[in-house]
Structure 1
Amino acid sequence: MSGKAEVLSLLFLINKATQDALAAYDNGGHDVPLLSSTDEQLVLALSENMQLKKAVRLLEGACDQLCATLAPPALTMVDRSQGHYAQCLRTILRAGVADVLYDHPVGMHARDLAPLVKIEQGKLSRILRCLATRHCFREVAIDKYAHNRLSLMLRKSNPIMHLADVYLTDIATGGNVLYETITDPRCMNSDDLAKAPVMYAVNGPENEGAMFFDWLRANPDREENFNFGMSGIGILFGSLASLEDFPWKSISTVCDIGSGVGAYAIPLVRQYPNITYTLCDMPATVDQGEELWSSECPDIVQSGRVLFSVLNFLEQAPPPGQDVYYMRAILHSWSDDQAICILKKIRQSMGPTSQFFVHDYVMQHLVRDEDESQQLSVAAPEPMLRNFGAGRMRACNQDMTMLIACNAKERTLQEMSALGYQAGLRVVKVWDLAEACVVQYEIASAS
C-alpha cells in the first residue's frame, strides 16, 4: 500500500468511527456535548456505552497514526519528548484550581485566581494556557479561564482527579529513574516489588523489603488518595453489568477480591436485585467501603445484599462456593509466582460451576502474522496497528505504571492463560470491553 493510499484508508476509518460515535450518542438519547459544556449530568454520560467506547478506540488510533504519517518526524518526536503538559496538570491538581473555578461559572481572571491558589499570576496564566490549548479549561477572555467538560474531571470530589494525581506524583517519582533501575545490576533482573523504580527512587537501590503498598500505608495521605483514585479505574473499565448476554439473573453471589471500596459494583447490584455482592479487601479499605455504601446505597446495605469481608488474598482463600469470583486491576500488580499463588487460593474456594472473572487490560502484539489463537480475536483494521495504536495507549501506559510501581505488568492473553493453567483454571471466554477486557476462567477439570 502506498503512503497516499494508507492516508486515504485512515481517513475512511476516521469517518466510520466518527459516524459510529455519533450513532452511539443518538442511540443513548444524548446530543454530542460541546467541549465548553459544564453540564455535570453529561460528564459521565455513555461512559459504559460499548458502541461509543469501541468507536473512540478506533478514532484515537486512526487519528494518531494519520498525524504520525503526515507530520515531519521532528515535530512528532519533539512533542512526545516534552512532559510539560503533565507537569502543568499536576500543578493545577495540587493547587486546587478546579475547585476554586467551580464557584465561578463565567470564569476568573488569573489576577483574581492567583492569590486563592498561591501561584503568581503570570505563571498561573501560562500554565492554564498550556492546558487549555489541549482543551482542558478554556480561555474565555485574555487571561480569564473557566471550566469545560474535561477540566471538571479535576475537582477533588472526582476520583479521576485522584487517579491522575497517583500517576503524576507517585508513579512519576519512579518514572524519573526508570532507566537507572532497569540498568542497575542490583535490580535489573529482579521482579521483586521492593526493587521497583518507585522504591528505588524513594529509598535508594540498597532498600530491601518495603514495596509500593508498604510505602502507601506509611503515608496515609497518599494511601487515601490512591484508594479514591482506584475508583477512577472503575470509571474507565466500566462495571460487570457491561457483560452482554451473561446470565446475571441466574447469579446469586459475587465475591469481589481486592475490591477497594467497590463503587464500580453499584450499577450491577442495583440492576440485579437477585445478587448478593461480597467486597473483600484489607481492613482500612473495607471500612472505607462500608462508609461509601452506607452513604450511597443505604437500602442495599440494610437489605444485606452487600457484605464486607477482610481478606489478605496473598495468604487467605476467599469465601467458598460463590457463583462468580471477580478481580479488577489486581493481578497486574504482582509477579507471576505471586499471581499463581493468588489464583490457587481462588481455585481452592471455587465450586464446580463457579466462574472467575479477571478484569484487566489485556496486552496485544502489533504483528499480524503470528499464531492468532494466542491473541485476542479483536484487531484493528489495516492499515492501523493491530492493537489499535493510540487507541490502546492507556493499556500501554498502565503496563509501564505496573513496571514502575510494582515490577509487575499487564499481560497478554497467552500469559493470562498460562497463569490460569498453573492454578488449575482454564480460559473459556474473553469479553472485549474496549478499554479493558474481562477474562473468564472456570475450573480446568470441568467439562
Structure 2
Amino acid sequence: MASNNVLKASEIFEGQVHLYKHLYAHAVDCMSIKWMIELGIPDIIHNHGQPISLPKLVSILQIPPSKVRGVKSLLRYLAHNGFLRIVRVHHSTEENEAFTLTPASHLLVKGTDFCLAPMVKGITNPTLSDIWSHLRKWTYEDDLTLYDVSLGSNFWDILSKNPAMNESFNEAMASDSQMMNLALRGCKWVFEGVETIVDVGGGTGNTAKAICDAFPNVKCTVFDRPQVVEKLSGTKNLTYVGGDMFESIPKADAVLLKWILHDWSDKDCKKILENCREAISGKGKRGKVIVIENVINEGQDEQGLTGLKLLMDVHMTCLFNGKERREEEWKKVFVEAGFQSYKISPFTVHLNLIQIYP
C-alpha cells in the first residue's frame, strides 16, 4: 500500500467505494427492514408457502405501477443483505425471478415464537432517529449520553415519561428474551440445585416464565422498575417485584442479569453486582450470579461477529455510558465487586453465559 500522502489511483477508488457504501447505507439498511415489516412482506411470503414472484407480491400489496420499480429495487437490496433469497421458478415455458425468506427474515414473521419485529420497531423509533447527529457535541460533554445531549434526559427518564415508548421498549426486550429462552433450553445445568432465582430487569417476565415452565419447583421473581411490573400478575411460582437494583435486590439462590450490565459503567456494574452478592448470601450454600452478555474476543471470533460486538459497544457507550467488555474487563468488575471466581460458557452465537461466585 502507498504511504498516507501518496495513494495509488486504485486505492483512491477503493476508498471511495468503501466510503459510499457506508454513507448510502446509513438510513437505508435499517429503514428498509422496517419497510418490509410495515408492508407485511415476511408474513405474505410465509403464508404464500412458496417463493413469490414480484408481480404476485405487487398484486397482493396493491402497489401503484409507478412504484413497482422502487419496490423491486428495495427487495433486491434486501436480498443482497441476506434478508431475502432470490430463486428462479419455472411456470409453463417461462423462467421467472421469485423471492423467499432467509433465517433473518423468518425472524420478522409476526405471530411466530421467535419474532424480532418488535426489536426493529424499537430501534427505528422516529423519536430516536436524529440522536446520532449529535455525536460531535456528545464528544465534548463530560459524562452525558447521546440521549442527554440530544433530548435533554437519559434513556430511563425518557421511558418513564413516555408510556408508548416504554411499552415499545418492553416489547422489544420481550422479543429478544424469546431468543435467549431458546438458548436456555440447552443450559438446564445452570439451574441445577437452584430453588429460587431473581431475574433482575426481567421486564414482563418472558424468561422467568420459561424457567418456571422448565423447572416447576423453582420459584422465580421478576425484579424491575415499578412502572414495568405494577400491572403484571404472577402465578404459583412466579412473582413480580418493583424496585431499584442500585438499592437492593430480593434474596435468592441465584440472580439472573440478562443483557443488563452492558447498559452501565464499571462503577455502576460494581454496585449492581455488590447488591447481587448480598442477595445470594446468608442462605447456607453457595449462591451464584448468572450473567448473559457479550464477551468481545477479536482473537477467536470471526470478523462479522466482532463487528457486531464492536457496533453494540458504540451503542452502549454513546447511548448509556455503558460498554461491551472483553474477558479481562469482566474479570476486573467481578473482582472489584467481591466475587472470587467465574466461568464463561457459550450461549448464543454472539452472547455468552457467565456464572460468577462469591
- With the shorter chain as reference, the TM-score category is 0.7 to 0.9
SS at match of 2:289: strand
1:441 paired with 2:352, answer: no
Q: Which has the higher contact order (CA 8 A, sep 6+)?
A: 1
1:185-213 superposed Cα distances (whole Å, 9 cap, x missing partner): 3x1x42xxxx3223433x2xxx3xx2112
Report the equivalent of 1:306.
238
1:359 paired with 2:301, answer: no
1:113 paired with 2:27, answer: no
1:393 paired with 2:341, answer: no
Count, aligned residues: 323
SS at match of 1:428: strand
**CA–CA separation in structure 2 for the residues paired with 1:167 and 1:400:** 14
| Identity over aligned pairs, percent | 19
Report the equivalent of 1:168.
124
1:274-315 superposed Cα distances (whole Å, 9 cap, x missing partner): 31111111234325764xxx7xxxxxx3xx122221222123
1:34-53 counterparts in 2 under 5 A? Answer: none
1:66-111 superposed Cα distances (whole Å, 9 cap, x missing partner): xxxxxx6765554344313323112333444444655544544325
Change (3 A) 1:288 1:404: farther
Give the TM-score of the pair, scaled to structure 2: 0.77
Report the equivalent of 1:64.
none
Q: Which residue, 168, 174, 178 being the options, matches 1:231? A: 174
Aligned CA-pair RMSD: 3.2
1:128 paired with 2:75, answer: yes
1:342 paired with 2:272, answer: yes
1:45-74 superposed Cα distances (whole Å, 9 cap, x missing partner): xxxxxxxxxxxxxxxxxxxxxxxxxxx676
1:165-244 counterparts in 2 under 5 A? Answer: 165-169=121-125, 172-182=129-139, 185=140, 187=141, 189-190=142-143, 195-201=144-150, 203=151, 207=152, 210-238=153-181, 239-243=183-187
Contact kept in structure 1, 2:84 and 2:105, CA below 8 Å: yes
1:87 paired with 2:87, answer: no
Contact kept in structure 2, 1:359 and 1:437, CA below 8 Å: yes
- How far the C-alpha of 1:332 sits from its partner, in A, is 1.2
Report the equivalent of 2:250.
319
Q: Higher strand fraction: Structure 1 or Structure 2?
A: 2
- How far the C-alpha of 1:330 sits from its partner, in A, is 0.9
**CA–CA separation in structure 2 for the residues paired with 1:312 and 1:340:** 15
- How far the C-alpha of 1:145 sits from its partner, in A, is 5.4
Q: Which residue, 260, 272, 286 being the options, matches 2:215? A: 272
In structure 1, give the amino acid aligned to 2:257. M
Contact kept in structure 1, 2:200 and 2:222, CA below 8 Å: yes
SS at match of 1:425: coil
- How far the C-alpha of 1:339 sits from its partner, in A, is 2.1
Structure 1: stretches of 5+ with no match in the other structure? 1-71, 295-300, 367-378, 381-386
In structure 1, give the amino acid aligned to 2:262. H
Contact kept in structure 1, 2:208 and 2:222, CA below 8 Å: no
Contact kept in structure 2, 1:236 and 1:435, CA below 8 Å: no
Contact kept in structure 1, 2:289 and 2:355, CA below 8 Å: yes
Report the equivalent of 2:3.
none
In structure 2, give the amino acid aligned to 1:323. D
- How far the C-alpha of 1:222 sits from its partner, in A, is 2.3
Change (3 A) 1:149 1:439: closer
